[in-house]
A and B are shown apart, each in its own frame.
Chain A
Amino acid sequence: MAQEARLPWIIKYRPKRLDEVVDQEEAKAKILEWLKKWPNVPKKALLLYGPPGCGKTSLVEAVANELGYEVLEMNASDFRRKEDIEKVAIRASTMQSLIASGRKKLILLDEVDGIADREDAGGLEAVAELVKISKVPIVMTANNPWDPKLRVLREIAEFVEFKKLRKDDIIRILERICIAEKLKCDKEALDYIATRAEGDARAAINDLQAIGEGFGEVTLERAKALLRPRDKERDPFETLKLLFSAKYAWQAKSVLNQSQLDYEQLKLWLEENIPNQFSDLEDVSRAYEALSKADVYLGRIIRTGDWDLLAYAIDLMTAGVSLSAKNNPRDKDRWTKYSFPQRLLLMSKLKDSRKIRDDLATILAQHLHISTSTAKAEIIPILRAIFISNPEYAAKIAVGLGLSEKMIEMLAGPNKQVVIMHYRRLKEEIEKKAAETIMQLQAKAGRTEKPEARKEKKKEKSQSKTTSTDLTSYFKK
């Protein structure tokens, strides 16, 4: 008994069977189906997301129990480095090949959103790699699926939502434990604990243990005395909802204090969702004007390092945006389906294409003795016209200027495949001719020189003939 009392209740009362898991029927069905079909599933991994303490890990363990899987569990504190993950993958796959006797395996990666925050670079890439090579099902959990760092997982894992538990569900869980622990429980006390937990069963159970263990009873009085107010972080959707519906400036401003979003992320979520919430064009425009000015302050902070300006930026992007609904104030409370900022998905693409364009402009600037900005404004548009209208000729220019295939793609747009086809053919032709020329030169050299000297000579010749400028001028005429 004394021994058992030291075990955290959240572990002691973890559900063993599926029917012991409270609520989350939809998620249950999804996971069961996915596991039964595995590996014949569109995505080889699952990511279960939802607020803390809503039963993600419990459900995985219960399902595994039910279907006869052995769970190889890892959580944020276990491993984070790439080598660790690779070791796991190898261990799991080799064990799997010996299962003739043993049980089926399942890898559980807990709290993957914790990986991204740490310094260990490549953690999430390693997870993606693990999913690719693993011969056993992989289930991950996360609190905040909108963390931009989890982007890589969106492509490889199916996302399953867990709902925040209702207060009644949590009271039921607490009552069950009270009975098992032979605790005398006050109804109001359990209600108080459950309310405060805001859907987090783990927090509620921990609270119950703190109040009740060793006392034999749980009273409202002691609950109130022992439990201090708890801060909860709101997910992006709750954050937006609260921000848009605020009636007072202070309400809107307080939103960032308890949000999973920081001001930079909030900026992007607002950029995406202002027109979803507000319907009147003047309101929309007003809200964007506030966001735009907030953004100017953020830019100035970066330039000047003056963090005092942050306060004004936040005022504008919270209260400024929220109170913009003057023509249609009812929009503030309208139920709105918010979307994930498309911007985050496009960002890396944007960066890549800008780099290609800058490199292209540098080549053109040198070729034509002009500035890169003139190259961008004057020459790239003309090249685009040529690349769109005459693929074969475009390919010759690409060879002549030494453009990369990425640059060709950017210039040719819908024509890119044709231009690249011609471009590769031309390159082959050049290489063939170059090889022939070298052979002839070697043959000539061979007649007059000794073998050793000839070898050296060959090297020199082939080097001098393979630089691209030499080649183009050689074959041009």
Chain B
Amino acid sequence: MSKSVSELLWAEKYRPKSLKELVNQEEIVKRLMKFVEERNMPHLLFAGPPGTGKTTAALALAHDLYGEDWRKYVLELNASDERGIAVIRSKVKEFARSKLPGDIPFKIVILDEADNMTADAQQALRRIMEMFVETTRFILIANFPSKIIEPIQSRCASFRFTPLKKEDVVSRLKWICEQENVVCHQDALETIYEISEGDMRKAINILQAAAALGEVTVSHVYKVVGLAHPKEIREILNLALQGKFIESRDRLRELMVTYGLSGTDVLKQMHREIFSADLKIPEDVRVTIADYIGEIQFRIVEGADDEIQLTALLAKLALLGKKISSMKG
């Protein structure tokens, strides 16, 4: 592994720079290369599951169009992080203003997680796309194309990214291990593929963490997954369900401080845990708890206080646990 004094995340370090390096999504890549050849492109909509190469394709396209200086011609926005459509409008306006040297008459705005925008915000986005169409092309990236409003879809050339095939993911992981001089086992790489469900970024992240333990073996892969998802949340759930309410509350406080978790973070992790086979509760109770968690999340979104709400949730779980055990007993 790296002998140098610094290291990056492999998901970025081994991100293909140019369209030529992209190994999957052949049909899409072919069409994108055509745009490069013609030095022109329409607005684009990249849709597909996470980790299938949407952002990579967008960045590679920009790289091939503009050359090594491509960053100057690209504005990257993430709809989940921008505070409202007005901010997006002013950023695009500012970006589109300056004229370009060279033979390409437009710049590119990459808008990631566009399907997280409300329908109203998307309407406004449509107007922005029209307003700056002479100087700017948009690449919209989304997980679910159905969540993009019709008028935007009709203005974009649409590309559907399909889940990556197992052999593609495994061979890419193997190639990275060769670059890094890391020993890896075939079954471990296959395990990574299963866990990451065809999400290349997730797969590479797990690979890097497993490699940090030494060789990439199946047991190291599982160890990484265990380390990445702290057991604390499950223990807190178990404590509450055993009726040890005060203990579970104190553990929760400690966890929130050490990891800086917000109430919503905790709720999401709890939600993951309740469907795990390691939590021994009747099946219908999992649904009951999901309902509790959902109600508490709703209250937090309404503006209530994280800790009070989580404490109230733990009290409900403690009561629920008592009812279950009395039914059994």
Chain A positions within 8 Å of B, measured between CB atoms, are: 267, 271, 275, 281-282, 284-285, 287-289, 291-292, 295-296, 298-300, 302-303, 342-343, 346, 349-350, 353-357, 364-365, 367-374, 376-379, 381-382, 384-386, 388-390, 393-394, 396-397, 399-401, 410, 413, 426, 429-430, 472, 475-477
Contacts and interface: CB of A to CB of B under 8 A. Distances in A.
A346 B255 CA distance: 11
B100 interface: no
Contacts of A343: 253, 307
B119 interface: no
Contact of B318 (A281, A368, A370): A281
B9 A410 contact: no
A377 to B, nearest CB: 8
Given A292-B312, A353-B258, A284 B318 contact: yes
Contacts of B52: none
B25 interface: no
A354 to B, nearest CB: 4
B8 interface: yes
21 contacts: A275-B245, A275-B249, A281-B319, A282-B319, A289-B315, A292-B299, A295-B309, A349-B257, A353-B258, A367-B9, A371-B80, A372-B80, A386-B208, A386-B209, A389-B227, A397-B7, A399-B6, A410-B260, A472-B6, A475-B6, A476-B6
A397 B5 CA distance: 9
B224 interface: yes
Interface string B300-329: 001111011101100110110010000000
Given A281-B322, A292-B299, A299-B302, A393 B2 contact: yes
Contacts of B113: 371
B6 A410 contact: no
A285 B322 CA distance: 12
A345 to B, nearest CB: 10
A378 B195 CA distance: 13
A296 B308 CA distance: 10
B4 A382 contact: no
A355 B257 CA distance: 11
A221 to B, nearest CB: 52
Given A271-B311, A292-B312, A364-B9, 13 more contacts: A275-B249, A281-B243, A281-B322, A288-B312, A292-B309, A295-B299, A342-B253, A353-B259, A356-B260, A370-B55, A382-B228, A389-B223, A397-B7
Interface in B190-210: 201-202, 205-206, 208-209
A385 B227 contact: yes
A267 B1 contact: no
Contacts of B123: none
A357 B296 CA distance: 23
A284 B318 CA distance: 10
A369 B205 contact: no
A368 B55 CA distance: 10
Contacts of A378: 201-202, 205
Contacts of B256: 350
Contacts, number: 188
A267 B223 CA distance: 42
Contacts of B261: 357
Contacts of A346: 253, 257
B262 interface: yes
A353 B201 CA distance: 27
The 9 closest A-B pairs by CB, nearest first: A299-B303, A353-B260, A385-B227, A357-B260, A292-B312, A400-B6, A381-B228, A396-B7, A288-B312
Contacts of A295: 299, 304-305, 308-309
A365 B227 contact: no
B281 to A, nearest CB: 17
Interface string B218-257: 0000011001111000000000000101100110010011
B265 interface: yes
B252 to A, nearest CB: 11
Nearest to A293: B299
Interface string B39-65: 000000000000000010001000000
A371 B307 CA distance: 26
B130 interface: no
A282 B321 CA distance: 11
B308 A267 contact: yes
Interface centre among A284, A300, A350, A382 (most CB of B within 10 A): A382
Interface in B1-38: 1-2, 4-9, 11-12
Nearest to A350: B257
B203 to A, nearest CB: 11
Contacts of B260: 350, 353-357, 410
A388 B209 CA distance: 10
Nearest to B212: A390
Contact of A396 (B6, B305, B316): B6
B79 to A, nearest CB: 8
Given A368-B11, A371-B78, A288 B315 contact: yes
Given A350-B256, A353-B259, A271 B213 contact: no
B120 interface: no
B81 interface: yes
A296 B304 contact: yes
A285 B262 contact: no
A388 to B, nearest CB: 6
Contacts of B12: 367-368
Nearest to B3: A477
Given A271-B311, A346-B253, A368-B12, A296 B76 contact: no
B200 to A, nearest CB: 12
Contact of B5 (A300, A386, A399): A399
B303 A354 contact: no
Contacts of A370: 55, 78, 112, 201
A382 B312 contact: no
Contacts of B307: 271, 343
A5 to B, nearest CB: 56
A381 B7 contact: no
